[in-house]
Each structure stands twice: as structure tokens, then as C-alpha cells.
């Protein structure tokens, strides 16, 4: 499942297209498009670096099942 780019929030800076290691996102005719959705490996780099928080990740069920909460250390430990 590819990320979703909000048309309302996106300012078309192109950063997500530059950052994506798999060239999933492209800038074409001044439009930001998710051109190769099946290539997305859900690294989240685009969503993290988007200055407008315009990208929403969607994870496949298999990825969600792998989610593990990492316990944070407290001062007492």
C-alpha cells in the first residue's frame, strides 16, 4: 500500500520524490504523484521528512503484525 499525499497540505516542494530510495514518488508536470505504488517498502522516509506533514502512511497487514513496542528506559532502571 503506497502512502497517500494530501492535495490540500502538499506545497509541491518535491522533497519526498528526492528522498524516496525506490523512486516511488515522482514530480511530473509540477504534480507530485505516487507513480510506482507497488514498489513502496514502507520505510516512511517521505512521511518523516515532508515539511507539511502531507503524507499519510498505509501499512499492509503483514507489516502491522510485525509492529513491536520498544520499552523505554526509565531512570530507575
What residues does 26 pair with on adjacent strands?
33
Which of 1, 4, 7, 14 binds ligand SF4 (CB under 6 A)? It is 14
Task: Check residue 15 for interaction with ligand SF4 (CB under 6 A).
Answer: yes
Of 71, 4, 11, 59, residue with least CA distance to 34:
4
Q: Does 26 bind ligand SF4 (CB under 6 A)?
A: no
Q: Is 43 exposed, middle or buried (0-12, 13-18, 19+ CB in 10 A)?
A: middle
* Binding residues for ligand SF4 (CB under 6 A): 3, 5, 10-16, 19-20, 22, 24-25, 32, 40-46, 50-52, 54-55
Amino acid at each position: 500500500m503506497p502512502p497517500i499525499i494530501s492535495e490540500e497540505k502538499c506545497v509541491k516542494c518535491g522533497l519526498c520524490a528526492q528522498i524516496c530510495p525506490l523512486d516511488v514518488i515522482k514530480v511530473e508536470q509540477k504534480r507530485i504523484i505516487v507513480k510506482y505504488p507497488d514498489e513502496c517498502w514502507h520505510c516512511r522516509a517521505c512521511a518523516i521528512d515532508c515539511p507539511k506533514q502531507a503524507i499519510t502512511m498505509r501499512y499492509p497487514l503483514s507489516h502491522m503484525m510485525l509492529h513491536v513496542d520498544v520499552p523505554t528506559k526509565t531512570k530507575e532502571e
